[in-house]
Amino acid sequence: MAIPHIYLIAGEPSGDIIGARLINSIQSKTNNKCFISGVGGKEMEKLGFKSLFPMSEITVMGLAEVIPSLPNLFMRIRQTIADITKKNPCIVVTIDAPDFSFRILKKISKSEIPLVHYVAPSVWAWKPGRAKKIAQFLNKLLTLFPFEPPYFEKEGLHTVFVGHPIVESKAGMGEGIIFRKKHNIPRSAKVLSILPGSRVGEIKRLLPIIMNVISSLDHKNLFIILPTLDNLVDHIKNLLKRWNISIIVITTIEEKYAALAASDVAIAASGTVSLELAMARVPNVSIYKFNSITAFIGRRLVKTKFSNLVNILLDKEVVPELIQEKCNSDLILNEIKKLLDNAEISELQLKNFDIAIKQLTNHSAKPSDKAANVILETIKSYDSK
């Protein structure tokens, strides 16, 4: 049998991490007898993956943010479709990034190549009609959350809960004591981690609000850590010039997890980082502010009560959510002071974190191994037809 060729597409940093773990698992299961090409980021490239073009070009979020990027997005979509057509892989696997991924999958859906999407669109949160639409061009869907499969199975789409990649991360295994020593942070000091997002637009909107909160806190025994990505450091440092506050900026995933382990509290943009904070057992406040156009449209489409993933999993507000108009320095300051000053409030978050994280594994295998099994079984079943 010829060496299987898997075409893998990731369109954002979280998808890049999922993609890297998936590549590792697939190569392990096939004794490296598998060729993988497509689009990905730095984590995938560390494994020898060669991206068709820089993944950063397609990393956009929000309706208003997508519009200026459309010409380049469409050009990259055409380029990717042409590459798939030329290479004729055994399977195409897209990871999240639906604005990019689904346009490609729809265009190639009439081919005989099996199409798998990893990370379900949040139809439980907004636009439930998408489940029916994607069932028309996908062969299989791999989900991160246990409550997702029924939304798609009722539309006839073969859907598998594989578990959330966060349970494979080292988010709960950071070396907090070593981090404090490295950065000369006394044991008695409080550490606040701030995580304003992984996109320029998010950071522009959220970091100034967070810095206004920090300006109002007592700095005598407080250290501020800002984990981010290499490509965002210059942008962040330019924004921070407005405040005469010492911030420790770190960029590697290892430093990030060490910083979380050293942290007493955090202020974080709503997103996957909420699960990392739960794994690291860091009490936190969840914030977000959309572009006004995105917010206007979103209010008419969003169906879920919560935006924080821990709250969604538990169906109650465990982590305070300050979204849009509520995302202001006064309200955030009030909530972060509660966490810093009241151990009972912090402890309640921690107890609920443990319950939420248990829901994110299917127990039979690591998420990346489960996903790899589904992908390899799909290739085998299509080869035998």
CB atoms within 10 A of CB 24: 15
Write the CB contacts of 341 (distance below 8 Å, at least 6 apart in sequence).
none
pTM of the model: 0.83
Mean per-residue pLDDT of the chain: 92
- Contact call for residues 347 and 272 (beta carbons, < 8 A): no
263: left (phi over 0), alpha (psi -120 to 50) or beta: beta
User: How confident is residue 65, by pLDDT bands cut at 50, 70 and 90?
Assistant: low
User: What 8-state DSSP symbol labels residue 92?
Assistant: E
The 10s digit of each residue's pLDDT in 169-196 is: 999 999 999 999 999 999 999 999 999 9
User: Is residue 219 scored above 80 in pLDDT?
Assistant: no
What is the reported pLDDT for 76? Answer: 96
**Cα–Cα distance, 92 to 76 (Å, whole number):** 16
Rounded-to-integer distance, Cα 319 and Cα 95, Å: 27
Residue 271: pLDDT band (50, 70, 90) is confident
Question: How far is Cα of residue 310 from the mean position of the Cα atoms in its chain?
Answer: 14
End-to-end CA distance of the chain: 14
The pLDDT assigned to 198 comes to 86
Q: Residues of 188-202 as b/e, b for ≥16 C-beta within 10 angstroms?
A: eebbbbbbbbbbebb
Domains of the chain by start residue, with CATH: 5-163+361-383 (3.40.50.2000), 176-358 (3.40.50.2000)
Helix 273-280, helix 253-262: angle, nearest 10: 50
How do residues 295-341 score in pLDDT, each as one tens digit? Answer: 555 555 555 788 899 999 999 999 999 999 999 999 999 999 999 99
Q: What is the token pair recorded at 193?
A: 């981690």
Residue 87 clears pLDDT 90, i.e. is over it: yes
- State the amino acid at position 222 in one-letter form: L
Cα–Cα dist 209/205, whole Å: 7
